Amino acid sequence: MKKILMLVRTSGLDYDDRIRKEAISLKKLGFNVIILANYTINKSEKGISQYGVPFKVYKLWTRKIFPSAKLLPLKMFEFWLRVFFETLFKRFDYVWVHEEYMVLTILLKPARGKYIFDQHELPLFLAKNKQMIQLYHKIESKSYKLIVANTDRLNYMIESGMVIDKSKYYILNNFPDKVFLDLPGNDLPEKVKDFIGNSKYILMQGGGHSTRYPIEVLSAIKRHGKYKAIIVGPVAKEFEERISNDFQDVVYIAGYIKQLELTQYIDHAWASIILYGHIGENNIYCEPNRFYQALNRGVPVIVGNNPPMKRIIDETGAGIVLKTDGSQFDDIIMGITELEKNYTIFKQKAELVKEKYIWEAQTEIIKNIVK
233 three-class SS: strand
d(CA 69, CA 87): 27
How far apart, in whole angstroms, are the C-alpha atoms of residue 275 and residue 301? Answer: 10
Residue 115: the pLDDT is 98
What residue spans define the domains of the chain? 2-172, 180-352
Strand ranges for the chain from DSSP E: 2-10, 31-39, 45-48, 54-57, 91-98, 112-119, 145-148, 169-171, 200-204, 227-232, 251-255, 271-274, 301-303, 319-321
pLDDT for residue 354:
87
Burial of 178-206, coded b for 16+ CB within 10 Å and e otherwise, reads ebbbebeeeebeeebeebbeeeebbbbbb
Residue 157 φ then ψ, to 5°: -65, -40
Neighbours of 322 (CB within 10 A): 21
Helix (H) or strand (E) holding 348: helix 343-352
Q: How far apart are CA 134 and CA 359, in angstroms?
A: 33
- Distance between CA atoms of 43 and 64, rounded to whole angstroms? 10
pTM of the complete model beyond 0.95:
no
DSSP assignment of 178-220 equals HHHHT---PPPPHHHHHHHTT-EEEEETT-B-GGG-HHHHHHH
The CATH code belonging to domain 180-352 is: 3.40.50.2000
Long-range pairs of 338-343 with CB within 8 A, sequence gap ≥ 24: 339/271, 339/300, 339/302, 340/226, 343/270, 343/300
Separation of alpha carbons 220 and 215, rounded Å: 8
Q: What is the pLDDT along the chain (371 residues), one digit of tens a residue?
A: 899 999 999 988 988 889 999 999 999 999 999 999 999 999 999 999 989 999 999 999 999 888 877 788 899 999 999 999 999 999 999 999 998 889 999 999 999 999 999 999 998 888 889 999 999 999 999 999 999 999 999 999 999 999 999 999 999 999 999 999 999 988 999 999 999 999 999 999 888 999 999 999 999 999 999 999 999 999 999 999 999 999 999 999 999 898 889 999 999 999 999 999 998 899 999 989 999 999 999 999 999 999 999 999 999 999 999 999 999 999 999 999 999 999 999 999 999 998 899 999 999 999 999 99
Domains 2-172 and 180-352 share a fold: yes
* Domain 2-172 part of CATH 3.40.50.2000: yes
Compute the distance between CA of residue 295 and CA of residue 318 in angstroms, rounded to an integer. Answer: 8
